Amino acid sequence: MSIQVFYEGNVQGVGFRWTVRHIAKGFDVTGWVGNLADGRVELQVNGEENEVRAFVAAIGESELRAHIRKQTETELAGPVDARGFEIRS
């Protein structure tokens, strides 16, 4: 499964991307996380459905939850182009 998640709130300048990358190390997923010009953070991730769901849930249960006001998820038609898990932008 491949999904795209947009996080809104106070999600830039708080170590969000680094924390997401650290959380990703505990799951069998590949993908990337990056800041957007409009203040949101974008996550794209691939993996088995149970791993992807557990990873996204772990982000929501981490200390980052205090910074997330809104989370929007979309399933992607094809796999995310990434080797390992990267921080972009």
Contact in structure between 40 and 6 (CB atoms under 8 Å): yes
Structure tokens at 41: 């953070």
| Catalytic site positions | 17, 35
Name the residue type at position 3. I
